[in-house]
Amino acid sequence: MKKVAVMTDSVSYMPKQVVEENDITLLPTHVIIDGKSHYENEIDLAWFYQHMPKWKKEDRIPTTSSPSTDDFVRAYRRLSEQYEGIVYLAYSAKLGMAVSASSQAKALVQDELSKTQIEVVDCQTACSPQMLATLEVARAANAGQSFTEVVKVARSMTEKVNFIALMDNLYYLAKGGRIHRARPWAASKITNSVLLHMNVATNGEMSPLARCKTKGELLKTLFSVVKERSGGRKLHVAINHADVPAEAEELREKALANFPVQEIYVSEIGPLVTSHTGLGTRIFGWWAED
C-alpha cells in the first residue's frame, strides 16, 4: 500500500493538471442555485460568472456549503483501500463547516478504518494559499515521507502561507456575514478598493489590511506587504481571479518582475468563493522559503 494520501477541497482552486501530477484528491464543495445543490467543480464557470450580475440584481445570490460528513466518510473509505494514512487540508474553519464535517467523519470511521491514520488540518486560509500548502504536503507524501512527517509539513505550511484579496466591492462579503472586522468598510462611501488578508495571524478570519483610492495604490500596497513579509526570500506564488484574467496576468507579471519566484500559478475563482466575494476579486497567495 502507498503511505499517505493528500486531500483538499475544491476551494483550493487547484488546476486540474497540478492535481493529477501530484496525486492529490480534491473533494468538491456544494453550491445551491435556485434550491438545487451542485458540486462546485461541475458548474460551468463562464455560465456562472455571466449570471452573477442578474442574481445580485434579483437578490438571489447562490448559497454554499462544505462537503458533507457523508462526503468525507466516502472519501476516507475509498482512500483507505490504497493508503495507510490520509491528510486533509481544509479551508479555514471561520469560513465554513469543512473542518467540522471532516472531523465528524473521522470519528465515525475510526473503528471501521482502525488501520488508517487520518489527520484534519485547518489551513486557516483558503484558495491559492490553500493550494500552495497542499501542493507542498503532496510533494512530501510523494517523496515517501511517513504519515507523521507529512502531518508535520502540513502544520508548518499553515504557518507560512499568506492570503491577500484585492476587492473593489464588499457587498457580497457583507451580505454573507464573512466580512467580520472589515464590516465598517462595506458601508463606506469613500472607497471600497481594499486589501483583506487571512492567515494564522488573523486566526483564519478575513480581516482588513488596507484601503486605497486607486488601482495603482492598491497594487503598490500589496507588493509592499509581500516584500515586507518575504524579506527577499524565494517565493511560491498562486493567483486566483473571478473573471478578470487581464488583471490576474498583471499581478503575475509584477510578481515575476519584483521577486525571486520559484513557481507561480494562475487559476480562476470558482462558484463557491465567487458567491461570497463577487466578480473582479483577485487573490494573491504566497509563501517564502526559509
Q: 21-25, 103-107, 205-209: which range is least confident on average?
A: 205-209
pLDDT in the model for residue 215: 84
Q: 30-39, 81-90, 209-218, 246-255: which range is least confident on average?
A: 209-218
Containing 132, the helix (H) or strand (E) segment is helix 127-142
Percent of the chain whose pLDDT exceeds 70: 92
Percent of the chain whose pLDDT exceeds 90: 85
pLDDT in the model for residue 177: 52
pLDDT in the model for residue 64: 95
Cell digits for 32? Answer: 445551491
**pTM, entire model:** 0.93
pLDDT in the model for residue 168: 82
> For residue 151, which of 214, 85, 72 has the smallest C-alpha distance?
85
Place of cell 503532496: 138
Q: At what angle do helices 69-80 and 98-109 cross, to 10 degrees?
A: 50
Could you give the domains of the chain? 2-31+65-159 (3.40.50.10170), 161-288 (3.30.1180.10)
Q: Where does the pLDDT of residue 2 fall: very low under 50, low under 70, confident under 90, or very high at 90 and above?
A: confident
pLDDT tens for residues 199-212?
999 999 988 899 88
pLDDT in the model for residue 184: 54
**Going by C-beta distance under 8 Å and a sequence separation of 6 or more, which residues neighbour residue 157?**
123, 132, 133, 136, 137, 287
Q: Where does the pLDDT of residue 252 fall: very low under 50, low under 70, confident under 90, or very high at 90 and above?
A: very high
pLDDT in the model for residue 191: 55
Is the per-residue pLDDT at 280 higher than 60? Answer: yes
pLDDT in the model for residue 214: 84
Is the per-residue pLDDT at 182 higher than 60? Answer: no
Q: 46-60, 127-141, 159-173, 254-268: which range is least confident on average?
A: 159-173
Tell me the CA distances in angstroms from 186 to 26, 58, 172, 180, one per residue in order: 33, 20, 9, 10
SS3 at position 201: helix
pLDDT in the model for residue 193: 84
HSE-CB at 200 with a 13 A cutoff on CA atoms is: 12
pLDDT in the model for residue 172: 64
Q: Where does the pLDDT of residue 219 fall: very low under 50, low under 70, confident under 90, or very high at 90 and above?
A: very high
Is the per-residue pLDDT at 135 higher than 70? Answer: yes
